[in-house]
Structure 1
Amino acid sequence: MNKKASKNKVVKDVVEVIMENNQPVVSSLVVAELFKKRHDNVLQSINELEIPDDYRVLNFQATFRDVPGPNGAIRKEPAFNMTRDGFSLLAMGFTGKKAMEWKIKFLEAFNAMEAKLKIVPPQVEANIRFKKAKPEAVKSFEGAARYWCYLENISWEQGKRQIEGEIRVSDIYEMDKLALDSAWTYLNMCLYAVPPKMRGVNACSAKDLETVHGLLDYWAYCGNTPRKKLLASICKVMGLKSLKELPKSHVPHAISLIWEGINKHSGKVDALKEASH
């Protein structure tokens, strides 16, 4: 191996592409380090990208790293894990000969990782196909997903593409059982969990929360359950410390979650009544 080839190998090795949610991603911290940029400037560039929200969610995954401070203190530093598409969008703004060299190195690293993912043993692939989800199960999922699209005021095609991108399938109607499980997990998160960046932003007024509090009162009375306990449960599912953090856009989600709880409890009550006769 000549000196030039040896040097190129060292460069490749420091391009760290990792697996996250079954897809290769690269950290904004790595990008900042190798492109010789301040990480806060890289974060600013990502936040200023004029792209649709659903595309941003799929290609820029918010994360944190622990940074040691004085006296043993630890602070959380925000970062992003970027897919190949996310990295490509960001790197469009990086110019110069050195920047171009690093763009190529990063894309080569993505290529290498994706090539490994394509090597699937025939027997494993056959087993996955054998466990294809039942059409009625997929139809059930579609019904719930369409309800989420209604709450988010987006089209079914938009929601469908977002789900497919998140669970890495080309068509939800061709999902296997494992993919369907992942789809339900993601959908439940979308239905109820408030993204961290939205918590406390454009928060509800007391009037905005009247319906939410009214349903909680109803649920507590009919279910003979402490209201405080029900409220804590709702906030936990939505990822909130209190309803003061609930953004106005997620009021329908909160109402839906409470109504689901009321219906589940009503079913249990009816079952108990039938068993007593």
Structure 2
Amino acid sequence: MKIDFNALVMLDHGVPVTTSFRVAEIFKKQHKNVLQAVQKLECSENFTKLNFKLCYKINELQNGKPQPYYEMTKDGFVFLVMGFTGKEAAQFKEAYINAFNWIQDELMKRGMSLMQRYNFVSLKFNTRKDEVSNSARSMRFWQDEKPEFLGELEILEKELQPHLTGLELK
């Protein structure tokens, strides 16, 4: 499953935010557990005020009683979900790390001289080329090994066949 960030984020007066409802849905958690997770965060009072807003909505399922939920900024969202576990949380963390690494690479490139950029890209190219070369080498070895394995399996299957049918030939 891939996280749909477009479904997660909305604009509130031009500020990107999400809600505890959306977090619960995307990360396959019960909403009450997301509320508890927000309440148990060990961040500063100032960070909490800046990044989490307790809201209420009238919920027909609760007979018109107001249902609490949190609206949170990007920073609040990241702080919250970095503590989550599970497949969806792992996917988010990987995507976040990849995005961070990408922007780091972009910023590094901007601060480099032309020669430094050439060396940086050349190093990445050669590293990737070596990885692909090793994969190709493994594939070549597999081409030689595969017929041997198949031949040996065929011989063993013929030897096993009489035992499987109970008609061992003597």
Normalised by the length of structure 1, the TM-score is 0.31
Which structure has more relative contact order (CA 8 Å, sep 6+)? It is 2
Normalised by the length of structure 2, the TM-score is 0.49
Structure label with greater radius of gyration: 2
